């Protein structure tokens, strides 16, 4: 028997800029699809007409491409199951509403938002879980006609069968069971005619042939509702995996609504996509490989059994760690692309490769490259307070000897410090620090042996000379 090709999907609502939580959902769906040579589908859930914006659609696609999460089916690439924007699928939805109406699985509900709010309040006061009381569940055809006649706009509710259990095996959380008696009849079409999330999300997964849905566990309680609808329509139910949400410092889940740091912001602040992806892949999924992995390697080692159930905390320190790993891994071309033109313009062309090699392990953000380019290639040097202290302590004679030995050793750094040590009798910190401070203005930084050739002998001599008094 042929196993059906695996198809996963990312189905964001374009109601804000995507954040790390959304991106991780996209990543896990991508990794699973890539791992199994399956299909990753992108669907835009733009049914919330008030909050959805075209610019968010464009931006989320830019963000996904930036993360190198490329989909095989969906906007920009097409496919056999479009349209991939839910706002363009109303005719399809109408067909399925009609099928549900034919089976009396749905009914129009004329309750107003304020009536519903009051009912919920009363239920809560009585210590009951708020759910739709079924007020409109058994209106006669005549009653419905009369209300429509008055111009009332009903929602459409799914009639939840009573006394049943909905069970499914969640790929992450294991066996799940929900009693239908705990679920109120729910809205599948809003009063303005737009489809509700439960409905179009489930219908589209089935119609688009999605086999696996990895999503945040904020959707777990939606799943029994979606399963009931798909069952009523005889549509195929995908396998679901609900992953614990990523929470921020305040303990609340990252969300578009609470201004969580967006992927766009991360990019603009100099984070590297490869680092972000390595970090996210390990947030809610364990890898035995602790080193940096390419996207292909991340996919090859991705396994459903390794998805965790505990909430994942966003930890900027960890993100920084993976950023450093990514910087160490990146090709020089990739790094130049990231560092940008301003820095490239400061670094002489023939020294660009050496420059990257020298500063790579001391650089986490692109602005650090600019910092080192200025130190190495401009005539003006700014001295940190620590450097000033070190320089004052070293004294003029030290720098005098440093100039003499620099000339005799001609840029051979180990030989230079050896000769200077002999000439001055200084060693250890007292030998290395004044050189670093005089040549870079700082007391920390990349290996001096790699910096000296970039500074050049003439500039180095001038910098040493500047510390000789009188």
- Binding-site residue numbers for ATP are 256
167: helix, coil or strand?
strand
Please report how the helices 448-455 and 413-424 are oriented relative to each other, as an axis angle in degrees rounded to 10: 100
SS3 74: strand
Closest distance between ligand ATP and the C-beta of residue 101, in Å? 28
Q: Is 428 left (phi over 0), alpha (psi -120 to 50) or beta?
A: left
Length reported for the chain: 470
Task: Rule CB under 6 A: say whether 216 interacts with ligand ATP.
Answer: yes
Pairing of strands 239-243, 186-189: unpaired
Beta carbon of residue 207, minimum distance to ligand ATP (angstroms, whole number): 19
Sign of the dihedral defined by the CA atoms of residues 240, 244, 246, 250, in that order: positive
- For ligand ATP, give the closer residue by CB, 106 or 243: 243
User: Using alpha carbons only, how large is the chain's radius of gyration in Å?
Assistant: 31
Give min distance, CB of 15 to ligand ATP, in A: 5
Position 256 contacts ligand ATP (CB under 6 A): yes
Nearer to ligand ATP, 64 or 406 (CB): 64
The structure tokens listed for 298 are 């991340």
Cβ–Cβ < 8 Å for 379, 459: yes
29 touches ligand ATP by CB under 6 A: no
Q: How many CA atoms lie within 13 A of 113 on its CB side?
A: 2
Applying CB under 6 A, among 6, 9, 12, 178 the residue interacting with ligand ATP is 12
Least distance (Å) between residue 256 CB and ligand ATP: 3
Least Å from the CB of residue 377 to ligand ATP = 44
Host H or E run for residue 313: strand 312-313
**Cα(6)–Cα(25) distance, integer angstroms:** 17
Contact residue for ligand ATP among 68, 88, 143, 218 (CB under 6 A): 218
Residue closer to ligand ATP, measured from CB, 312 or 327: 312
Chosen residue from 33, 156, 228, 246 binding ligand ATP by CB under 6 A: 246
Is-contact 354 450, C-beta < 8 A? Answer: yes
Out of 36, 131, 147, 219, point to the residue binding ligand ATP (CB under 6 A).
Answer: 219
Measured over the CA atoms of residue 292, residue 297, residue 298 and residue 300, the dihedral's sign is negative
Q: Is position 108 an interface residue for ligand ATP (rule: CB under 6 A)?
A: no
Q: At what angle do helices 90-102 and 222-233 cross, to 10 degrees?
A: 70
For position 21 contacting ligand ATP by CB under 6 A, the verdict is: yes
Q: Which of 38, 253, 441, 445 binds ligand ATP (CB under 6 A)?
A: 253
State the minimum distance, in angstroms, from the CB of residue 259 to ligand ATP.
10
Element holding 246 (H helix, E strand): strand 246-247
Q: Are 154 and 190 in contact (CB under 8 A)?
A: no
Q: How many residues contact ligand ATP, by CB under 6 A?
A: 19
Q: Interface with ligand ATP includes 238 (CB under 6 A)?
A: no
H or E segment and range at residue 406? helix 396-409
CB of 61 to ligand ATP, least distance (A): 13
Smallest separation (angstroms) from ligand ATP to the CB of 58: 15
State yes or no: residue 43 binds ligand ATP (CB under 6 A). Answer: no
Instruction: Sheet containing 106-109: give its strands across.
Output: 106-109, 155-158, 186-189
74 scored as a contact of ligand ATP (CB under 6 A)? no
- Annotated binding-site members: 256
Q: Does residue number 241 form part of the binding site for ligand ATP (CB under 6 A)? A: no
Per CB under 6 A, the list member of 1, 249, 257, 341 interacting with ligand ATP is: 257
Query: Does residue number 25 form part of the binding site for ligand ATP (CB under 6 A)?
Result: yes
Where do contacts with ligand ATP occur on this chain (CB under 6 A)? 12-13, 15-16, 21-22, 24-25, 215-216, 218-219, 245-246, 253-257
């Amino acid at each position: 028997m042929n196993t059906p090709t695996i198809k996963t999907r990312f189905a964001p609502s374009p109601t804000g800029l995507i954040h790390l939580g959304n991106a991780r959902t996209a990543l896990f769906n991508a990794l699973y699809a890539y791992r199994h040579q399956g299909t990753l589908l992108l669907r835009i859930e733009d049914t919330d007409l008030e909050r959805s914006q075209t610019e968010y659609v464009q931006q989320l696609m830019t963000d996904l491409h930036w993360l190198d999460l490329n989909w095989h089916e969906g906007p920009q690439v097409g496919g056999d199951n479009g349209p991939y924007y839910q706002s363009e699928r109303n005719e399809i939805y109408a067909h399925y509403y009609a099928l549900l109406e034919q089976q009396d699985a749905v009914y129009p509900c004329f309750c107003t938002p304020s009536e519903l709010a009051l009912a919920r309040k009363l239920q809560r006061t009585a210590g009951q879980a708020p759910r739709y009381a079924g007020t409109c569940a058994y209106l006669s055809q005549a009653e419905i006609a009369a209300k429509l006649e008055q111009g009332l706009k009903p929602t459409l509710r799914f009639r939840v069968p009573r006394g049943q259990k909905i069970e499914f095996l969640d790929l992450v959380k294991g066996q799940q069971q929900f009693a239908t008696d705990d679920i109120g009849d729910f809205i599948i079409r809003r009063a303005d005619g737009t489809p509700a999330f439960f409905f179009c999300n489930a219908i589209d997964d089935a119609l688009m042939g999605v086999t696996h849905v990895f999503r945040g566990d904020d959707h777990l309680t939606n799943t029994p509702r979606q399963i009931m609808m798909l069952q009523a329509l005889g549509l195929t139910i995908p396998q679901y995996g609900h992953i614990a949400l990523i929470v921020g410092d305040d303990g609340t889940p990252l969300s578009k609504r609470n201004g969580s740091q967006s992927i766009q912001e991360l990019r603009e602040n100099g984070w590297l996509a490869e680092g972000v992806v390595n970090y996210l892949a390990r947030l809610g999924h364990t890898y035995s490989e602790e080193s940096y992995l390419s996207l292909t390697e991340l996919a090859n080692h991705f396994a459903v059994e390794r998805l965790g159930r505990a909430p994942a905390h966003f930890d900027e320190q960890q993100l920084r760690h993976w950023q450093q790993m990514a910087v160490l891994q990146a090709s020089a071309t990739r790094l130049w692309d990231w560092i940008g033109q301003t820095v490239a313009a400061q670094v002489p062309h023939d020294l660009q490769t050496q420059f990257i090699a020298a500063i790579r392990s001391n650089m986490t953000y692109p602005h650090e490259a600019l910092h080192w380019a200025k130190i190495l290639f401009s005539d003006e040097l700014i001295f940190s307070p620590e450097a000033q202290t070190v320089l004052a302590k070293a004294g003029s004679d030290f720098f005098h000897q440093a100039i003499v030995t620099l000339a005799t050793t001609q840029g051979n750094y180990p030989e230079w410090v050896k000769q200077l040590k002999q000439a001055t009798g200084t060693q250890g910190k007292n030998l290395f620090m004044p050189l670093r401070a005089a040549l870079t203005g700082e007391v920390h930084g990349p290996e001096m042996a790699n910096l000296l050739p970039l500074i050049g002998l003439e500039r180095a001599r001038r910098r040493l000379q500047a510390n000789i008094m009188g």
